[in-house]
Amino acid sequence: MLKNIIKDIKSKKELKTLDNNFVKEKIDSYLKDHKLDLDKPFKQLKRSEEYSLMKKSIREELRKIYGLFKIKQPSLSQNYQELLKTHLSTKERLPYYNQIYKEIFSITNKPSTILDLASGLNPLSIPYMNLKKVHYLAIELSKEDCNFLNNYFKKNNAKGKAIPLDLVKHYKELKNIKADITFLFKTLDSLEEIKRNISKEILKTLSSKYIVVSFSSISVSGKRIKERGWFLRILRELNLNYTEFKTPNETFLIIENKKSFTKI
């Protein structure tokens, strides 16, 4: 029965690459608070109002976490510029990548190791970084997306690796990852909807010298989004200094990770 439910929930194009176990966790969590007769034949269950409500609720949650920004399925036959256009965030960023990395590295200096959390296709923007040598570790929720990135790294002889990790449940595993800089592009809004104050816990866990966080400045409907006061409050509570810059669609904060400098 669960296999059928998982398959049905993932039938939407933007959710197809999600890991089955992750979707199962969301179903199990929903069923703790809602009744659903799983003894019914699936065809009959699927027609019930209770099932429709469950499917709608879980899909909405999954889209918040993962599936909202994918435009079309990427292919390894495409070049990196074409691939970056298949995801909304990287497509919006594409005209500004040179400027973005110039701004970031003017403060952080050029890194030799990069950790990219909830990376999406951002690792494919490495050519815009103008780095002679870099080790890149991408963290993604979906195993299938990690496989795609790993195949891309291999095909292009890049020193990169992608590993699957649920940042909400397993963020403490980031503690032992060493990097000069960590990217958290357009990620924290979604994570906060799942677990409040998870952003603060992630920042406390990271050991990189710099952390670059970004937020969309325009909503999906095209409206201007206000400054994230909740995140600035977290930075004050953690006594973290930051430098801000903006592109037309995105606000970036380059954060000095003081505990990293203290260790040095």
Query: Taking residues 102-122, what's their average pLDDT?
Result: 97
Residue 246 domain-assigned (yes or no): yes
Supply 233's token pair: 């409050």
Q: Which of 32-46, 98-112, 133-147, 198-212 has the lowest mean pLDDT?
A: 32-46
The answer on 149 and 201 residing in a single domain is yes
One-letter identity of residue 6: I
Encode pLDDT of 14-32 as tens digits: 787 777 878 888 898 889 8
The answer on 102 and 133 residing in a single domain is yes
When pLDDT is cut at 50, 70 and 90, the band that residue 70 belongs to is low
Q: Quick check: 67 pLDDT over 70?
A: no
Query: Taking residues 58-67, what's their average pLDDT?
Result: 75
Query: Taking residues 195-217, what's their average pLDDT?
Result: 95
Please name every residue paired with 124 in a beta bridge, in sequence order, or none if there are none: none
Whole-Å CA distances, 251 to 29, 100, 145, 154, 178:
34, 10, 26, 32, 25
User: Is the distance from CB of 254 to CB of 243 less than 8 angstroms?
Assistant: yes
How many helices (H) does the chain have, and how many strands (E)? 13, 7
The answer on 146 and 25 residing in a single domain is no
The answer on 88 and 61 residing in a single domain is no
Domain span at residue 154? 80-263
Query: Taking residues 38-63, what's their average pLDDT?
Result: 88
Closest CA to 163 of 181, 179, 149: 149
Between these two residues, 17 and 113, which has the higher pLDDT value? 113
The answer on 209 and 106 residing in a single domain is yes
| Mean of the per-residue pLDDT values of the chain | 89
Residue 72 domain-assigned (yes or no): no
Q: Report how far residue 208's alpha carbon sits from residue 237's, in angstroms, rounded to the nearest whole number.
A: 19
The pLDDT assigned to 66 comes to 63
The answer on 44 and 93 residing in a single domain is no
The pLDDT assigned to 243 comes to 97
User: Is the distance from CB of 255 to CB of 213 less than 8 angstroms?
Assistant: yes
Using left for φ > 0, alpha for ψ between -120 and 50, and beta otherwise, residue 182 falls in: beta
Q: Report how far residue 149's alpha carbon sits from residue 153's, in angstroms, rounded to the nearest whole number.
A: 6
- Taking only Cα atoms into account, the Rg of the chain, rounded to an integer number of angstroms, comes to 19
Choosing from 37, 67, 97, the residue where a domain stops is: 67
pTM of the model: 0.80
Residue 97 domain-assigned (yes or no): yes
The answer on 252 and 127 residing in a single domain is yes
Q: Quick check: 80 pLDDT over 80?
A: yes
Counting the structural domains of the chain, the total is: 2
Q: Quick check: 105 pLDDT over 80?
A: yes
User: Is the distance from CB of 175 to CB of 205 less than 8 angstroms?
Assistant: yes
Residue 107 domain-assigned (yes or no): yes
The pLDDT assigned to 210 comes to 98
Query: Is beta strand 181-185 parallel, antiparallel or unpaired with respect to 113-117?
Result: parallel
The answer on 52 and 86 residing in a single domain is no
Encode pLDDT of 128-178 as tens digits: 999 989 999 999 988 888 999 999 999 999 999 999 999 998 999 999 999
Query: Taking residues 23-52, what's their average pLDDT?
Result: 88
Report residue 81: phi and psi, to 5°.
-70, -40
The answer on 252 and 155 residing in a single domain is yes
